[in-house]
Amino acid sequence: MQGKPAGVVTRTIAGGIDYALAVVAVGSTYAGLAALSFLYNPVSWHWPRWPFIVLLVLGGVYLGGYLTACWATSGKTLGGQVMGTRVLGRHGGRVRLWRAALRALVVVVFPIGLFWSAVNRHSRSVQDIVTGTEVVYSWRTAV
């Protein structure tokens, strides 16, 4: 399977792992700021109340930055590492920074686009079509 297009189930599991990391990052930020507010004023302390949109935007920023950095450097996120997939740019090369950022933006804004890979002949998601990338099985690392 090395080098073959990754299927929708593999990609969904990898994406779920990456989204879980973003949720942990948002939760850690919330807990850290709650702890700082407690240290600042322990007498009248209460849990911070953030609107849900703030949590969504923060999660989107964390996820977008994480995906961009991973795809532009190694082509693999933690989810991709676990599931044995890699994002490749045009002609099978490394994904350039601007393309990785655009792909991350499309993933964050339109995550359901992943499921297009279930019906696409080449297992390409909406994100892949828009940015000219592909996701392949890649357990080995090229030397």
Residue 13 lies in a domain: yes
For 74-91, how does the pLDDT look when each residue is reduced to its tens digit (9 = 90+)?
A: 999 999 999 999 999 988
CA–CA dist 38, 72 (Å, integer): 38
Question: Is this prediction's pTM over 0.85?
Answer: yes
CA–CA dist 46, 59 (Å, integer): 23
Q: Which tops the pLDDT comparison, 2 or 54?
A: 54
How crowded is residue 12: how many other Cβ atoms within 10 Å of its Cβ?
16
Residue 110 lies in a domain: yes
The fraction of the chain above a pLDDT of 90, given in percent, is 83
- pLDDT above 50 for 143: no
Residue 2 lies in a domain: no
Residue 143 lies in a domain: no
| Displacement of CA 9 from its chain's centroid (Å) | 16
Give the total number of structural domains in the chain: 1
Residue 1 lies in a domain: no
Residue 3 lies in a domain: no
pLDDT at 2: 81
Domain that holds residue 88: 8-137
